Amino acid sequence: MALAVAHTLVHGGSLVVEAGTGVGKTFAYLVPALLSGERVLVSTATKTLQDQLFARDIPELLQALGLPLRLAMLKGRGSYVCQQRLELAQQATSLPDRQAFNTLAQVQAWARTTTTGDLAEVPNLDERSALIPLITSNRDNCLGSPCPHWRECHVNAARREAMAADVVVINHHLFFADMAVRESGMAELLPTVRVVIFDEAHQLNETGIQFLGKQLGTGQLLDLARDVLAAGLQLARGLVDWQKVVSEFEKTLRDWRLVVGKHPANTKLKWSDPEPHGVHPLDWAQALHDLSESTERLQAAVENVVDAAPDFQRLHERLSDVLSLITHFENPCAPGSVRWVEVGGQMRCFEAPLDIAETVQNKLLGSDLAIPAEGSAGAPLPRSWIFTSATLGDDDKLSWFTEPCGLNNAQVLRMQSPFDYQAQAWVHVPRLMVPPKDPGHSAEVGDTAIQIARALGGRTLVLTTTLRALRAIGAQMQEAFGDSGELEVLMQGESPKRELMSRFRKAIEPGEKGCVLVASASFWEGFDVPGEALQAVVIDKLPFPPPNDPLVEARSQRLEAQGRSSFNDYFLPEAAVSLKQGAGRLIRRETDRGALVVCDNRLVNTGYGRRLLAGLPPMKRIEQLPELLSALREIAKT
């Protein structure tokens, strides 16, 4: 892998590398990149890996290689404390909850001494804390150069450092956010870099479409209304009846939300007609029209006082952006994109491209002008793009990744994991279990997981495909173990992921109780527990994408329209990648041992199931549960 990366660095172009667990992919791209003498940008999907590269891997390598390179890390605004908003939060008479008061005191103490302003430094800060939006800035509420803290602003300092560094570590969110709004500093950074490396590249497509599309939501509009009211009352009191104009605007917002009706949280309504599914067309059109008029009235009010303070100029721009978004959503969806409405308490309209292929080809590779090689007066070289991850597809071309990312012409390399899976791991599929669509399926999965966790004294991760299964299996395991105190049963959502992972790891320390974790969604990847603490992964069913999701449906329809099979070319590769990721939680080191249990007999009873099974690492099959349980009891003793 290192040689392939080095070759791409010399000649330019795109290289896609799938490097199985244990290959050492981070060093395999970092060593040639650092030795190349080029300016390097490394982007990760998660802040965890971003922090690890910046704080550990790259400094270690720079020291080992004796390279005096300058390293910087750049995150999105939401990762840095904003001194201006921290001050406002301190003066606020009310905060979202009691916990927020304690967190604020902790952040205040830390903010006096931090040099980076990166909130990741605050010990045990819950990334879901309701305080965070109040003490960080976004593009809308940052005051920019008139800000009294402009000179010592952490966001600005991080950008300055990134501009001066030889190696900059960023994340995919920042990369794509900047392509959409060009404000995070990447716009200046990218043209000066010749080597761009995307680690955890499997998340590139889904991250990209979030930022390349458009969004308009009631939450965002309520924030804007509140900002107008606060600025109006503070800086232009008496010049406009702010209460009246803002409450009129809020009323049209409520009316707009009401036309969509009541739905459970996180419902996604399809939107292929001019109006979202199930909404009366005339009501929808009228509500959008009223919203547009009310936004215009709010903007006119702001325009009256625009010279009173710089804040009003920014509010005026934000209102213009909202007006263009409303017009956008009044018109038909852009070709090649899909629309939907997410609704629960609040409502958000989305329009997203189906993938990032066009953007990558036109804006990245297509605009890839040759730039001079660092330190050389010689011929200019094209840019080098490296994309890598442990899981990028289920065929030799890695089409699951390369197609939606527009990388059909990239060089592709697959590096197998060096682990001896036959000796280290077992795979078991309970053949007699009821099929996944049977209402009794979760209970049978729970029974199997209980037996496995009991054989191992904990050390078991249960991965579910739905939140409903998570709750059902979690409750069943809690009843079996938690109530008697035999084992600790953790469930996703009760604490931040970082904390759950650390409690799970500690469970094998002397005096600690064995531990089971039941989780879904984000735990299928990035849950890294090497060693004896994790010896069984139980998966409830094959992780096919939900067919009713508007994005999934639009992608399958596009494939069918091209005469392709959406099942073979989309659903199966998606399931294969997720299954590999889930299974990948089990064996993290050469000495690890354990079992993967997939409670979905389609894996052995159907042709496509066997294709999915063949895509997993070559683990030893165990047919009978009792045999597996005694094997697990054996490894638990060692």
Give the strand pairing for 460-463 and 515-519: parallel
Nearest distance from residue 321's CB to ligand SF4, in Å?
A: 18
Nearest distance from residue 117's CB to ligand SF4, in Å?
A: 9
Give the strand pairing for 594-598 and 515-519: unpaired
- Which of these segments, 147-155, 366-374, 546-554, 558-566, binds ligand SF4 (CB under 6 A)? 147-155
CA–CA dist 558, 205 (Å, integer)? 17
Question: Is residue 80 a contact partner of residue 155, using CB atoms and an 8 Å limit?
Answer: yes
Q: State how far Cα 356 lies from the chain centre.
A: 16
Q: Does residue 74 touch ligand SF4 according to CB under 6 A?
A: no
Q: Does residue 107 touch ligand SF4 according to CB under 6 A?
A: no
CA–CA dist 498, 203 (Å, integer)? 19
Q: Does residue 114 touch ligand SF4 according to CB under 6 A?
A: no
Q: Does residue 84 touch ligand SF4 according to CB under 6 A?
A: yes
Q: Does residue 397 touch ligand SF4 according to CB under 6 A?
A: no
Among 35, 67, 120, 143, binds ligand SF4 (CB under 6 A): 143
Which positions from 27 to 66 touch ligand SF4 by CB under 6 A, shown as an x/- string? ----------------------------------------
Among 142, 209, 246, 631, binds ligand SF4 (CB under 6 A): 142
- Which of these segments, 80-88, 259-267, 407-415, 626-634, binds ligand SF4 (CB under 6 A)? 80-88
CA–CA dist 504, 153 (Å, integer)? 38
Nearest distance from residue 609's CB to ligand SF4, in Å?
A: 51
CA–CA dist 202, 402 (Å, integer)? 10
Q: Does residue 135 touch ligand SF4 according to CB under 6 A?
A: no
Among 7, 139, 149, 505, binds ligand SF4 (CB under 6 A): 149
Q: Does residue 82 touch ligand SF4 according to CB under 6 A?
A: yes
Q: Does residue 83 touch ligand SF4 according to CB under 6 A?
A: yes
Any idea which residue has 């965002």 for tokens?
220
Among 137, 184, 389, 476, binds ligand SF4 (CB under 6 A): 137
- Which of these segments, 76-84, 186-194, 213-221, 600-608, binds ligand SF4 (CB under 6 A)? 76-84
Question: Is residue 594 a contact partner of residue 534, using CB atoms and an 8 Å limit?
Answer: yes
Q: Does residue 153 touch ligand SF4 according to CB under 6 A?
A: yes
Q: What angle do CA 87, 93, 99 make, to 5 degrees?
A: 85
Spell out the residues 6+ positions from residue 273 whose beta carbon is closer than 8 angstroms to its own. 281
Beta strands in 354-436 (DSSP E): 371-372, 380-381, 384-389, 411-415, 425-428
Q: Does residue 521 touch ligand SF4 according to CB under 6 A?
A: no
Structure tokens at 537: 């992964």
- Which of these segments, 140-148, 372-380, 429-437, 570-578, binds ligand SF4 (CB under 6 A)? 140-148
- Which of these segments, 2-10, 83-91, 260-268, 445-453, binds ligand SF4 (CB under 6 A)? 83-91
Q: Which is nearer to ligand SF4, 82 or 489 (CB)?
A: 82
Structure tokens at 148: 């009294």
**CA R_g for the chain:** 26
Q: State how far Cα 386 lies from the chain centre.
A: 20
Structure tokens at 112: 């006096």
Q: Does residue 498 touch ligand SF4 according to CB under 6 A?
A: no
Closest CA to 86 of 8, 27, 127, 147: 147
- Which of these segments, 77-85, 262-270, 342-350, 486-494, binds ligand SF4 (CB under 6 A)? 77-85
- Which of these segments, 31-39, 82-90, 339-347, 443-451, binds ligand SF4 (CB under 6 A)? 82-90
CA–CA dist 517, 284 (Å, integer)? 44
Structure tokens at 633: 């009891």
Q: Does residue 155 touch ligand SF4 according to CB under 6 A?
A: yes
Nearest distance from residue 135's CB to ligand SF4, in Å?
A: 10
CA–CA dist 346, 65 (Å, integer)? 52
Q: Which is nearer to ligand SF4, 111 or 413 (CB)?
A: 111
- Beta bridge partners, 536, equal 460, 595
| Neighbour-count burial for 121-145, b at 16+ CB within 10 Å, e otherwise | ebeebeeebebbebbbbeeebbbee
Q: Does residue 147 touch ligand SF4 according to CB under 6 A?
A: yes
Nearest distance from residue 498's CB to ligand SF4, in Å?
A: 25
Residues that bind ligand SF4 (CB under 6 A): 82-85, 137, 142-143, 147, 149-150, 153, 155
